[in-house]
Amino acid sequence: MATAAVITPCGAQTETDYELEVAGVKVTSKNCSDLSVIEGVSGRVGYDPYENYLFLYDAKIESKNGVPVVLAKKDVEIFVVGNCTLSAENAPCIVYEKGGSLYSTPSEGTLECYAPEDYAAVLFAEKLNINGTELEATGKYGVAGSGDSAALGIVRGGLKAYGKQSATYNIASFEKEGVKFMSPEGFYFDAELRGMAKDGKLVSDTLLISPAKRYKIILLKDSYGDTNEEEYYVDEVNCNDLSVYDFVEGKMDYNPDTKTLTLDNVKINGGIIIGEDSLTILLKGTNEIVNTLTSGRYDFGLGYLFVDTASIRGVNGGELKVTSQGSSGTIFIKNSKSRKFSRFTIKDCNMEVNGRYDIVNGAAGSSRPKDFDAGSFLALPDMVKKKTVRSMENEGVAVSIDNSNVKLNCTDNGSPIIVMTGGIELLKCRIISPENATIGENYIMGADGNPLSESVVIGSESTPVEIDNVKNNSVPGMSKGVFTIDGIRMDVDEKDLPAGLYIIDGKKIIKK
């Protein structure tokens, strides 16, 4: 359950009317901090005039005498936490004379609205946004527009609507993101009928729209200088084709069963936040990720990995170029709380990373950025003083580069690799330049024994392993070892494999 919002204390000397009523009582600067004192109201209810939201926390509100439970004469956000119920007598439950929104942290807010059979449960004139809240609306109409341009939007929320006449009514347009149409089977939005329809008629049975299952992956659109980047969650609806977004070129998809994010000749103008542990980024062809943000929270290239383990692997020498113009790590791996260090692997690929700090890992803490169980940021080490920055036990490998060609192009006073916990490992590859550079405890060290603040080139001892697409039972390039059907090597014995299709010693095998 989310932490309850803090309602700003009201009580200004001059009473201000906020153009909002709850159970027939005007909300003003005198009473807005605690509206639970109103007759018919229980639970935590308050209004924040600075943020312009009405806060409901496990609230139950009943209105009588023909007045709505909530009457908003201006755009207002209703912030729903927990299980809340609104019921009206001879009136709609919620009336937006303009537009408004219902907001909850996904899966942490439900709102039930019950109106008599002669009224809509939720009535709005302009646009109603349901963002994260799961709304159940029952009345003559579940949700209805009162104006010619009334629009409905649902983002990662849900709607269960039942209307004596129809579940939805007089809705001019509809937008959705991260939701699934559940029942009745085959329903759709019909602009001519102005509502959700099936077989040419508005749906009068119970209508169910559910939030799609989200995965811990967020795509960020580069705002080109604006710190308010657009965020798009990967979910069960969009995961098969992430190229639908205008900042993603090429072919990109996510397989939740294998936890594989595939980039096939992709260019992303933005970044990626990943919280799915043991996720693999699979590279096919030539790929590029560019983030031009130079300030704010997301000034990175590839993104933040809130994980214990993650890897980037190439198919047929797949390539990835990552560029950040910000001051944070271009690839920043935050250790999750469950382990003392993370492991990030670059294997069988060609990779170029450009930024001030190219690859950085950090230690666990107490914050929860987004909904990912991750640690708080650690300040990057003072490269001028060349401090050792161990904050936890120095066990395991934090960054592993295996059979890959990697260019780490850091800017002045930056660093190609900073490892705060764990160590650095090179397998089947070596440092080509600068000469006499070595692997140190926290950094790549120069010939003078100090951490490098210049670019590093790491070369494979052979060309990257070629892993062909599986077309025949005999698979070239996989003569020994266990691979997934996508060509990812697995560090597991054959006897320990779960049921599925694999490539074992160069042949496709079905494990039962």
Instruction: State pLDDT tens for residues 375-415.
Output: 333 333 333 333 444 444 445 678 899 999 999 998 877 88
Domain limit, last residue, from 211, 239, 268 = 211
Q: Does residue 198 sit in the same domain as residue 235?
A: no
Q: Average pLDDT of 275-281?
A: 90
How confident is the model at residue 10, as a pLDDT? Answer: 59
Q: Does residue 102 sit in the same domain as residue 154?
A: yes
* Residue keyed to tokens 């997934």: 484
Q: Does residue 204 sit in the same domain as residue 284?
A: no
Whole-Å CA distances, 424 to 359, 397, 449: 11, 6, 16
How confident is the model at residue 501, as a pLDDT? Answer: 62
| Beta strand extents in 132-243 (DSSP E only) | 134-145, 151-155, 158-169, 173-177, 179-183, 188-190, 195-198, 201-202, 207-211, 214-221, 230-235
Q: Does residue 97 sit in the same domain as residue 239?
A: no
Range of the domain at 143: 17-211
- As a whole-number percent, the residues of the chain with pLDDT over 70 amount to 77
pLDDT digits (tens, 9 = 90+) for 102-114: 999 877 899 999 9
How confident is the model at residue 394, as a pLDDT? Answer: 44
Q: Taking Cα atoms as reference points, which of 197, 201, 179, 178 lies closest to residue 187? A: 197
How far apart CA 254 and CA 268 sit, in angstroms, is 15
How confident is the model at residue 383, as a pLDDT? Answer: 31
How far apart CA 288 and CA 153 sit, in angstroms, is 33
Query: 283: part of which helix (H) or strand (E)?
Result: strand 279-291
Whole-Å CA distances, 286 to 314, 320, 352: 10, 6, 11
Q: Taking Cα atoms as reference points, which of 199, 186, 191, 198 lies closest to residue 170? A: 191
Q: Does residue 189 sit in the same domain as residue 115?
A: yes
352 is written with which tokens? 């170029």
How far apart CA 104 and CA 473 sit, in angstroms, is 50
Say if CB 244 and CB 276 are below 8 A apart: no
| Beta strand extents in 327-368 (DSSP E only) | 329-335, 343-347, 350-362
Say if CB 442 and CB 419 are below 8 A apart: yes
Domain limit, last residue, from 211, 244, 265 = 211
Specify if 467 maps to a domain.
no
Say if CB 52 and CB 77 are below 8 A apart: yes
Specify if 4 maps to a domain.
no
Q: Taking Cα atoms as reference points, which of 122, 102, 104 lies closest to residue 162? A: 122
- Flag whether pLDDT at 1 surpasses 50: no
Q: Does residue 412 sit in the same domain as residue 382?
A: yes
3-state secondary structure (DSSP) of residue 495: helix
How confident is the model at residue 477, as a pLDDT? Answer: 46
Q: Average pLDDT of 130-141?
A: 96
How far apart CA 50 and CA 46 sit, in angstroms, is 12
Specify if 473 maps to a domain.
no
Domains in the chain, number: 3
pTM of the predicted model over 0.75:
no
Of 39-48, 250-259, 433-442, the poorest mean pLDDT is in: 433-442
How far apart CA 328 and CA 353 sit, in angstroms, is 13
pLDDT digits (tens, 9 = 90+) for 16-41: 999 999 999 999 999 999 999 999 99
Q: Does residue 407 sit in the same domain as residue 425?
A: yes
Q: Does residue 113 sit in the same domain as residue 222?
A: no
Average pLDDT of every residue of the chain: 82
Q: Does residue 199 sit in the same domain as residue 218?
A: no
